[in-house]
Amino acid sequence: MPAPIRAVLFDYGNVLVGWSPRKLYACLIADPSRLDYFLDHVCPMSWHMLHDEGQAMADTIPARQAEFPEFAAEIAAWKTGFAEMITGEITGSTDLVKELAAAQIPQYVLTNMPSEMVETCFGPFDFPRHFKDIIVSGDEKTAKPLKPIFDISLKRMGGLSAEEVFFTDDSSANIAAAASYGFVTHLFEGPEGLRQAMQEAGLPV
């Protein structure tokens, strides 16, 4: 028999709260092809991963501006306009957070996020009060899908085994990694599927 689920570990961006750099940059770059080029080549997710791994934007932004001087103002907006990348609470997911809290199921967050943007990303919302702990990659200087941050998470969850933790994330790479480490996993594609997966795992939602 599988171990009973004793805690839930959520990804944050695009599972509980929507996050899209395109939301900000569509307001700053009118030409669609130039916008696509910017997001694919100037400030792609591979570059943003530097922040998730703990590098300061005060260092990465000037370096990127030197490489793409024609986009200097737009690159600067990655920091100054970060709040505008947030698209809002995913209420179907946060409803599950509230239901789990009412059932006294311990809940945690494991997020790839720059340390300097934690308040920007969590501050506007009430539901994070239900989490026992939030593990931020920028603080830990390691990020999903690498094993060390999952090991850190288990320690922060009181030493639970991976088999006792239900983990959901919208990244297939993160889910594949977590599954290989023993977590009970669900690839997030929407709140309805998440609810069903939680029910199948025996969680009271």
Distance CA 92, CA 139 (A): 28
CA distances from 64 to 22, 114, 125, 199 (A): 18, 17, 31, 45
Q: What is the pLDDT along the chain (205 residues), one digit of tens a residue?
A: 677 999 999 999 999 999 999 999 999 999 999 999 999 999 999 999 999 999 999 999 999 999 999 999 999 999 999 999 999 999 999 999 999 999 999 999 999 999 999 999 999 999 999 999 999 999 999 999 999 999 999 999 999 999 999 999 999 999 999 999 999 999 999 999 999 999 999 999 9
What are the phi and psi torsion angles at 89 (to 5°)?
A: -70, 140
CA atoms within 13 A on the CB side of 87: 16
- The pLDDT of residue 1 is 66
Angle between helices 72-80 and 21-28 (to 10 degrees): 140
4 burial type by CB count under 10 A (0-12 exposed, 13-18 middle, 19+ buried): exposed
pTM for this model (two decimals) = 0.96
Contacts of 118 (CB under 8 A, 6+ apart): 134, 136, 138
Q: How far is CA 141 from the centre of its chain?
A: 15
Helix (H, G, I), strand (E, B) or coil at 56: coil
Do 194 and 175 touch, CB atoms closer than 8 A? no
- The pLDDT of residue 2 is 75
Distance CA 88, CA 52 (A): 20
Helix (H, G, I), strand (E, B) or coil at 173: helix
